Amino acid sequence: MTPEQLQAVVRTAVGAVVERGALPVEVPAEVVVERPKNPEHGDYATNVALRLAKPAGRPPREVAGLLAEELRAHPGIASVDVAGPGFLNITLAQGALGRIAVDAVTTGPTYGHTGTLAGQRLNLEFVSANPTGPVHIGGTRWAAVGDALGRLLEASGAAVTREYYFNDAGAQIDRFARSLMAAAAGRPVPGDGYAGDYIGEIATQVVAAEPGVLELPEEQQQERFRERGVELMFAEIKRTLAAFGVEFDVYFSERTLHETGALEKAIARLRENGHVYEADGATWLRTTDFGDDKDRPLVKSDGDPTYFAADCAYYLDKRSRGFDKVVIMLGADHAGYVGRYRALVAAVGDDPDANLEILLGQLVNLVRDGEPVRMSKRAGTVVLLEDLVEAVGADAARYALARASVDQQIDLDLDLWSRQTNDNPVFYVQYAHARISSVLRNAADLGVVLGDPGDVDVAQLTHERENTLLRAIGEFPRVLTSAAELRAPHRVARYLEELAGTYHRFYDSCRVLPRGDEETTPLAVARLWLCAATAVVLRNGLGVLGVSAPERM
């Protein structure tokens, strides 16, 4: 019996007491079931009696007594104790606890998935680096965390569209094109241009594709380098992200907003809503009406639209595609952006709390022997996605970046994350999965099989280490749900590390397979189910983080 199943049992018990008139209250839509800190207090505890006491007009312990009596009649519950001011401590029948292992194995790849976010259509935008250079370490963190978050949200039932917005319009693209032109002609890159070996590499590719490009008039030449350069740079960005295991459903071009008149339509809508005014030859959005610290220009005095105008058009485009909420992941240097974006959402008539969510992430520093690492061969002092993967591997890079809360700055120790030892967290978790895979292979060699789910005697699992592992496996659905709701993939990583440790302690205390001429006992089969269930959870959890679950290491 998983915690979710026990919640349903407790709620049914409340309903039964209410139906017979013993409690004059409404049956709560949800009840809280938690693992007590002290395992001597049972497998699970609930505060439902405390919550119902006041509306029932009865002492909490009296309410708890009524519910305890009802719960004790359930065949999956061994005992119920009333504790403290009215908590219910519940110990499951041994067979009920053991069924967690069977549920995990038979559910397989979807064990842990829930429908808590079912019906929500979310647009998740992350990375969105300008196509003026390779993906740097900051974008790499968002790639790892954003992809994991998308998987988490889907595991909780949400419909998620992953989107990459690339700014292929504006001054930074002009500087990029001029940098390519200079490199192709053998001139120094302009002072406001982009440096790095990649500029020369792309410039060479442009000339190879269009041999006569350097003979064109400067304006035409810049346009060709602009178009070809962005195309080549963005192709490389896509390639490196795909090699990192990150792909997007939509790659959205800012330039299309300019070409389709979307900016003009967005400004017109804001004007109709009464929030646009003219001043100093420019067009402004009165964002101060919605809590921003100052009003923001939409069109500059020279007639060119601002990036903010494009943001307005882009938000409206997302909403027109049917998304309930727009989720945007940004670096901490964009913190000042939050207020103005919430203001524009309010100005178009939406609710910023319901339709917008902006996540801010802190910086990543690479260190070795406690010293900062500057290791890029292609971009000067900027560390790239490929640099990190080359140093520690894709699995370790993804796990390390998703393991910390996004609001926490990371000092990522390259020596630690490249080790094949248990002090490397991803190795520790992956090794647990590989160890179980070895057990399952050895079992097959001995002719020990799981058999039919209905035949396994899970009541054999009575050892303290077995029960602890079963309860940990049962927590997995709640871990995924809370991680999705809190936008916190790091919770999954920390849970997996605890689960791996719990499994290793179980394995060291409880022999699974028969030795020599020993017969296969029901206990051995039950323990094999427990191993297989742990492997399912490790595999599913690592999958949420986009990390592999090797069968051999």
310 domain-assigned: no
In terms of DSSP H, where are the helices of 244-299? 254-259, 262-272
Residues 81 and 192 in one domain: no
E strands within 293-354? 296-299, 325-331
The 3-class secondary structure across 407-451, one letter per residue, is CCCEEEEHHHHHCCCCCCHHHHHHHHHHHHHHHHHHHHHHCCCCC
Last residue of one domain, picked from the residues 229, 258, 275: 229
Q: 503-530 burial by CB neighbour count: b if 16+ within 10 A, else e?
A: beebbeebebbeeeeeeeeebbbbbbbb
Q: Provide the 3-class DSSP secondary structure of residue 290.
A: helix
Chain centroid, CA 463 distance in Å: 35
Model confidence, pTM: 0.87
Residues 88 and 177 in one domain: no
For the chain, how many structural domains are there in total?
A: 3
Sign of CA dihedral 442, 448, 452, 456: negative
* Parts of the chain with a pLDDT under 70: 374-382
Residues 433 and 531 in one domain: yes
Q: Provide the 3-class DSSP secondary structure of residue 235.
A: helix
Q: What is the pLDDT of residues 199-225, one digit of tens each?
A: 999 999 999 999 999 999 999 999 999
Range of the domain at 9: 3-93
366 domain-assigned: no
CA-CA distance, 333 to 82, in Å (whole number)? 52
Whichever domain contains 443, its CATH number is: 1.10.730.10
Last residue of one domain, picked from the residues 46, 61, 93: 93
- State the pLDDT at residue 20: 85
- State the pLDDT at residue 334: 83
From 141, 328, 145, 163, select the one nearest 253 (Cα to Cα): 163
Tokens of 500: 């791996």
- H helices, E strands: number in the chain: 21, 15
**Residue 159 near residue 120 (C-beta atoms within 8 A):** yes
**Residue 97 near residue 22 (C-beta atoms within 8 A):** no
CA-CA distance, 160 to 153, in Å (whole number)? 7
Q: What is the pLDDT of residues 39-54, one digit of tens each?
A: 788 888 999 999 998 8
Whichever domain contains 32, its CATH number is: 3.30.1360.70
238 domain-assigned: no
From 415, 333, 422, 423, select the one nearest 138 (Cα to Cα): 333
135 domain-assigned: no
Tokens of 8: 């349903």
508 domain-assigned: yes
- State the pLDDT at residue 339: 93
Which residues touch 371 (CB under 8 Å, ≥6 apart)?
A: none
Task: State the residue for tokens 């039950």.
Answer: 526
Q: Provide the 3-class DSSP secondary structure of residue 32.
A: coil
CA-CA distance, 376 to 196, in Å (whole number)? 9
**429 burial via Cβ count (<10 Å: 0-12, 13-18, 19+):** buried
**217 burial via Cβ count (<10 Å: 0-12, 13-18, 19+):** exposed
Chain centroid, CA 230 distance in Å: 29
- State the pLDDT at residue 194: 86
291 domain-assigned: no
- State the pLDDT at residue 375: 53
Last residue of one domain, picked from the residues 229, 249, 274: 229
Q: Provide the 3-class DSSP secondary structure of residue 519.
A: coil
149 domain-assigned: no
Cα–Cα distances (Å) from 520 to 107, 443, 489, 498, 515, in that order, read 25, 10, 40, 30, 9
128 domain-assigned: no
Torsion of the alpha carbons at 476, 147, 136 and 401, rounded to the nearest 10 = 0
